[in-house]
């Protein structure tokens, strides 16, 4: 296996190939089935269950007046609920496995999008920040924390929001600092995080690049089932495709048909994913897992319809990996 910088170069070449990827894969003979396509192979029902629960809370809260203290309690409650939901996931999947990480990341993405809208309503309703001694103490505490990555993913936002909440609780435990600015500041800082999240998830191409970044971050979070070591090396990566077998999809695969409706249908009939082979650097245990790529297809669709003109390859998605 090459060095990490060499592997990054290989991935740059592969992603830079852009929309010619299918032809390259057909020539290389590396097609493998991904089933199902856009949903997780395992645990999608858990993501759906959590999404319904989060949406229920957000809908209820956003329907009423968004006041500081109750909203602070609701947001902290959501963060706690998501953390507690890990025990439900653990009943079926080992926490730290690739499957469990994909599930928890999916839930974190749901929470990130919902907090963006909810806290945006709060900021709009309360444009004036509360700048008291409590807020000053919160700012001092948060400025010492590590900055989030530029390509902010859902699990980053979730972790940062939890840390912000811990700092807020510490400050609120000091009577002379238990002032309104602490909770107001917490809500605004989480709102700031959600804005960064929204910016890097602004279109199908950016969502696709975020998925690739998520795959990179998974390598440092997967826990070996054999020895318990945290972090794995990717020793192989392949791109797989599944084509729907309906009669309409079979007809759409006729490459001589180039009318726009058929081209879009052909894109919709294909489901993409990455298949990784990973090795534990501590004990040498090897295993495989797959990651669906729904936004690769959506990016193709956006290009075909003109919604996207180009797909620039971001150079910053590897900065967090180090050497």
Tokens found for residue 172: 């609120």
pLDDT at 317: 36
Residues 135 and 167 in one domain: yes
pTM, 2 dp: 0.83
Tokens found for residue 10: 């290989």
Rounded CA-CA distance 287/264 in Å is 35
Query: Is 306 a member of any domain?
Result: yes
Instruction: Say yes or no to pLDDT of 236 above 50.
Output: yes
Query: Is 207 a member of any domain?
Result: no
DSSP conformation class of 279: E
**Which of 6-10, 126-130, 247-251 is least confident?**
6-10
Domain carrying residue 314 = 4-30+224-321
Contacts of 281-284 with C-beta under 8 Å, sequence gap 24+, read: 281/229, 281/231, 281/232, 281/233, 282/224, 282/227, 282/229, 283/224, 283/226, 283/227, 283/229
Residues 194 and 49 in one domain: yes
Tokens found for residue 193: 């995080």
pLDDT at 240: 87
Rounded CA-CA distance 160/214 in Å is 16
Residues 63 and 115 in one domain: yes
Instruction: Return the top range by mean pLDDT from 37-41, 216-220, 263-267, 306-310.
Output: 216-220
Give per-residue burial for 96-134: e unless 16+ CB within 10 Å, then b. bbbbbbbbbbbbbbbbbbbbbebbeebbeebeeebebeb
Instruction: Say yes or no to pLDDT of 29 above 60.
Output: no
- Residue of 30 and 139 predicted with greater confidence: 139
Model confidence over 270-314: pLDDT tens digits? 888 999 999 999 999 999 999 999 889 889 999 999 888 776 555
Query: What is the average pLDDT value for the chain, to the nearest integer?
Result: 85
Model confidence over 116-140: pLDDT tens digits? 999 999 999 999 999 999 999 999 9
- Dihedral of CA atoms 11, 296, 238, 105 in degrees, nearest 10, equals 90
- Of 158, 184, 199, the residue at which a domain comes to its end is 199
């Amino acid at each position: 296996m090459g060095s990490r910088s060499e592997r990054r170069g290989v991935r740059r070449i592969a992603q830079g190939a852009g929309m010619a990827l299918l032809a390259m894969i057909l020539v290389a003979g590396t097609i493998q089935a991904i089933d199902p396509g856009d949903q997780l192979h395992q645990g999608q029902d858990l993501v759906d269950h959590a999404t319904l629960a989060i949406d229920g809370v957000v809908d209820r809260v956003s329907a009423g007046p968004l006041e500081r203290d109750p909203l602070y309690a609701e947001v902290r409650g959501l963060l706690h609920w998501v953390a507690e939901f890990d025990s439900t996931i653990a009943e079926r999947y080992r926490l730290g496995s690739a499957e469990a990480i994909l599930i928890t990341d999916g839930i974190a993405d749901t929470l990130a999008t919902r907090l963006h809208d909810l806290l945006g309503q709060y900021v709009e309703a309360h444009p004036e920040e509360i700048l008291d001694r409590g807020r000053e103490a919160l700012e001092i505490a948060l400025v010492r924390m590590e900055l989030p990555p530029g390509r902010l993913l859902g699990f980053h936002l979730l972790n940062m929001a939890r840390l912000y909440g811990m700092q807020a609780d510490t400050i609120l435990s000091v009577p002379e600092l238990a002032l309104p600015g602490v909770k107001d500041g917490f809500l605004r800082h989480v709102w700031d995080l959600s804005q960064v999240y929204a910016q890097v998830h602004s279109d199908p191409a950016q969502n696709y690049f975020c998925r690739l970044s998520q795959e990179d971050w998974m390598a440092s979070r997967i826990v070996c089932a054999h020895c318990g070591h945290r972090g794995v090396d990717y020793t192989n990566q392949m791109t797989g495709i599944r084509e729907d077998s309906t009669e309409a999809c079979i007809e759409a695969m006729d490459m001589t048909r180039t009318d726009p409706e058929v081209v879009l249908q052909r894109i919709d009939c294909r489901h993409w994913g990455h298949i990784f082979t990973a090795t534990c650097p501590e004990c040498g245990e090897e295993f495989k897992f797959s990651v669906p790529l729904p936004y690769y297809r959506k990016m193709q669709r956006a290009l075909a319809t003109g919604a996207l003109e180009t797909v620039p390859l971001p150079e910053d998605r590897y900065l967090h990996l180090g050497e």
